[in-house]
Every structure is written in C-alpha cells, then in structure tokens.
C-alpha cells in the first residue's frame, strides 16, 4: 500500500474513533469504538487495491452516519449511567 493510502486509512480510522467517542450514550459510544477497531483489524492485511478502495468508501460512509447519529443523540440525550461516574 502506498504511503498516501496508509495516511488516508490512518486519518479515517482516527476520525471514526474520535466521532464515536462523541456519542452521549455510553452503550452506543463503547459499541461504536469497538466496531471501528474490529473492522480495521479484520482488514489489516488487505492488499487488493479495489477492495481497499471499497473499504475506504464504506468507512467514509460510516463516518457520515456516525456524525449524524451523534447529533441526534445529543438532541435526545438522557441521564448518564452509573458506570460513567456522574449521575
């Protein structure tokens, strides 16, 4: 994989993790971070350029969905869970 592709993948990974951590709901936040990490680990050894392009496009689409869901989550947020510390 070219250096520019690696930088794009790393940037997309960081953006997905960063946005996932913005979920107001503990359960959604933890699930989203876990899914992002698992999906990137699953495809670590991918070498086919077409498949890499498809996966990057899918990740970009997922990032947009997460961004929208975070906004919606903040509109309808509820009390924090006990596991989060504050009540």
Residue 40 has a pLDDT of 95
- Burial readout 46-77 (b: 16 or more C-beta within 10 A, e: otherwise): eeeeeebeebeeebeebbeebeebbeebeeee
Tokens standing for residue 17 = 């993790």
pLDDT per position as a tens digit, 27-68: 999 999 999 999 999 999 888 989 999 999 999 999 999 999
Q: Nearest Cα to 9, choosing from 22, 84, 47, 30?
A: 47
pTM equals 0.84
Q: How far apart are CA 80 and CA 87, in angstroms?
A: 6
Which pLDDT band, with edges at 50, 70 and 90, does 10 fall under? very high
Residue 1 has a pLDDT of 62
Residue 87 has a pLDDT of 46
Residue 80 has a pLDDT of 78
Residue 83 has a pLDDT of 78
Cβ count near 12 (within 10 Å): 18
């Amino acid at each position: 994989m070219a250096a520019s592709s690696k930088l794009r993948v790393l940037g997309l990974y960081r953006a997905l993790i960063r946005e996932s951590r913005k979920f107001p709901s503990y359960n959604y936040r933890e699930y989203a971070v876990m899914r992002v990490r698992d999906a990137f680990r699953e495809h670590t050894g991918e070498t086919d350029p077409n498949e890499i392009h498809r996966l990057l496009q899918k990740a970009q689409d997922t990032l947009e969905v997460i961004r929208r869901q975070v906004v919606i989550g903040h509109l309808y947020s509820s009390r924090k869970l006990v596991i989060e510390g504050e009540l």
